[in-house]
């Protein structure tokens, strides 16, 4: 028998590292894992380096986060969304959004409770729910045209007396949907009616492409008091290795998250906390230029994939473009990705591991790479035979 606790058996693999390893082994272009291949803003690097040099960042920071970062995170929520949080009681800093998500689930969900997750999901959600000894209840997004949408009637049917929380993610990874005010309002009515908490993963809040607009669900009437909103310095400032995240919410929920989180990593990222604090106070121009630059790269990749005969879904936000492999005769996105890796030297991520079998033909591609990397990938795809000629080909 393996020593791993049984509730974690389903979560041993990470398709992201598997695909990055495959890309490295084959010397393939990696459009799988979503990390930028250029650094974030120089001034933030200098702040982190100075904090190491002058010693201010080298010992334990305060357990709930550096006061200047808590202040900056709350100022950011106020400036961007008109949401008011008190830094000393209504915010907390963590080792990336990941730790805060896990801490929120562990702090707010009892063993045996149910947590609704949107399907396809981000891989750490069901794992965090399993860690808490709770049960993840997947509710699939609906496909209408080239967009994935929130299915509130299906969420309503999935709610039981054991449902404690809903893990929301907008902008959504991997579908790249930014949920609309109408969708979130319908959802808010439901969770308020049923007295359910919302843990809202908004790490892609600044990676949104007009006309889409990001709306934190905490903004809606009756939602602030039941929502923990989570953001990420890795995603907003292109420093995914720094692992600085923040959460904001009402004092009772944040007090709970703080208790659990302090017993996980206690503190982390000493030199990076003041740097991210400075980033959160950047003028709006930084964020709009960041989104404009990513939008251009989205067009490059989405246009290129479309020209290759792929069915490309809308990207309203995030780093990702989603395609459906059935257009090229593949029912299995995983087989298609394997074919691409070997035949074209390009690696992407199959969506199958993030679902219960409903989205097997989907593949996720990232465009947060330099232009010449995207161009090389498209060039190699153009030269390869992408269609499925195998026995499983659809007739
Ligand atoms: C990257 C990502 C995270 C993790 O953020 P970190 O700050 O790197 O921990 C959480 N949720 C989603 C949807 C992500 O894509």
Alpha-carbon distance of 244 to 93, in angstroms, equals 7
Query: Does the beta carbon of 318 sit less than 6 angstroms from any atom of ligand 1?
Result: no
User: Tens of pLDDT along 81-115?
Assistant: 999 999 999 999 999 999 999 999 999 999 999 99
Cβ atoms of residues 107 and 257 within 8 Å? yes
For ligand 1, the distance from its centroid to the CA atom of residue 387, given in whole angstroms, is 33
- Residue of the CA atom closest to atom 5 of ligand 1: 97
Alpha-carbon distance of 164 to 136, in angstroms, equals 11
pLDDT at 395: 47
Alpha-carbon distance of 109 to 253, in angstroms, equals 11
- Residue of the CA atom closest to atom 15 of ligand 1: 173
For ligand 1, the distance from its centroid to the CA atom of residue 123, given in whole angstroms, is 10
pLDDT at 273: 98
pLDDT at 192: 98
pLDDT at 379: 97
pLDDT at 389: 87
Query: Does the beta carbon of 203 sit less than 6 angstroms from any atom of ligand 1?
Result: yes
- pTM value is 0.97
pLDDT at 390: 77
- Residue of the CA atom closest to atom 13 of ligand 1: 173
For ligand 1, the distance from its centroid to the CA atom of residue 386, given in whole angstroms, is 31
Which parts of the chain sit beneath pLDDT 70?
391-395
Query: Does the beta carbon of 229 sit less than 6 angstroms from any atom of ligand 1?
Result: no
Cβ atoms of residues 356 and 119 within 8 Å? yes
Q: What is the mean pLDDT of the chain?
A: 96
Query: Does the beta carbon of 337 sit less than 6 angstroms from any atom of ligand 1?
Result: no
Q: Which residues, 6 or more positions from 388, have their beta carbon under 8 angstroms from its beta carbon? A: 328, 329, 330, 335, 336, 339, 394
pLDDT at 137: 98
C-alpha pair distances (Å), 113 with each of 68, 129, 287, 291, 357: 36, 9, 38, 38, 24
């Amino acid at each position: 028998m393996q020593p791993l606790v049984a509730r974690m058996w389903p979560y041993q693999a990470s398709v992201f590292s598997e695909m990055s390893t495959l890309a490295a082994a084959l010397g393939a272009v990696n459009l799988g894992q979503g990390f930028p291949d250029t650094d974030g803003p120089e001034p933030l690097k200098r702040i982190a380096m100075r904090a190491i040099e002058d010693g201010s960042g080298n010992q334990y920071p305060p357990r709930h986060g550096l006061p200047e970062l808590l202040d900056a995170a709350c100022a950011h929520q106020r400036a961007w969304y008109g949401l008011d949080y008190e830094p000393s009681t209504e915010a907390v800093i963590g080792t990336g959004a990941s730790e805060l998500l896990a801490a929120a689930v562990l702090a707010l969900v009892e063993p045996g409770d149910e947590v609704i997750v949107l399907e396809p999901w981000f891989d750490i959600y069901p794992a965090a729910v399993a860690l808490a000894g709770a049960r993840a209840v997947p509710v699939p997004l609906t496909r209408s045209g080239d967009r994935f949408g929130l299915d509130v009637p299906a969420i309503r049917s999935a709610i039981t007396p054991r449902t404690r929380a809903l893990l929301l993610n907008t902008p959504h990874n991997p579908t790249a949907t930014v949920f609309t005010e109408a969708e979130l309002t319908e959802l808010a009515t439901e969770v308020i009616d049923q007295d359910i908490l919302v843990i809202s993963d908004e790490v892609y809040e600044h990676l949104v492409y007009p006309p889409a607009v990001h709306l934190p669900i905490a903004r809606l009437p009756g939602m602030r008091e039941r929502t923990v909103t989570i953001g990420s310095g890795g995603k907003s400032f292109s420093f995914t290795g720094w692992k600085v995240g923040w959460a904001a919410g009402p004092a009772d929920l944040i007090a709970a998250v703080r208790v659990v989180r302090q017993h996980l990593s206690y503190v982390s990222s000493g030199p990076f906390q003041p740097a991210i604090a400075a980033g959160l106070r950047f003028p709006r121009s930084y964020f709009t230029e960041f989104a404009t630059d990513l939008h251009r790269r989205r067009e490059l990749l989405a246009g290129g994939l479309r020209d290759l005969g792929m069915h490309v879904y809308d990207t309203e936000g995030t780093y990702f473009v989603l395609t459906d492999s059935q257009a090229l005769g593949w029912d299995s996105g995983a087989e298609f990705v394997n074919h691409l890796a070997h035949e074209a030297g390009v690696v992407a991520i199959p969506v199958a591991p993030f679902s219960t079998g409903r989205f097997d033909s989907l593949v996720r591609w990232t465009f947060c790479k330099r232009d010449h990397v995207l161009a090389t990938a498209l060039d190699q795809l153009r030269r390869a035979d992408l269609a499925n000629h195998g026995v499983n080909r659809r007739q």
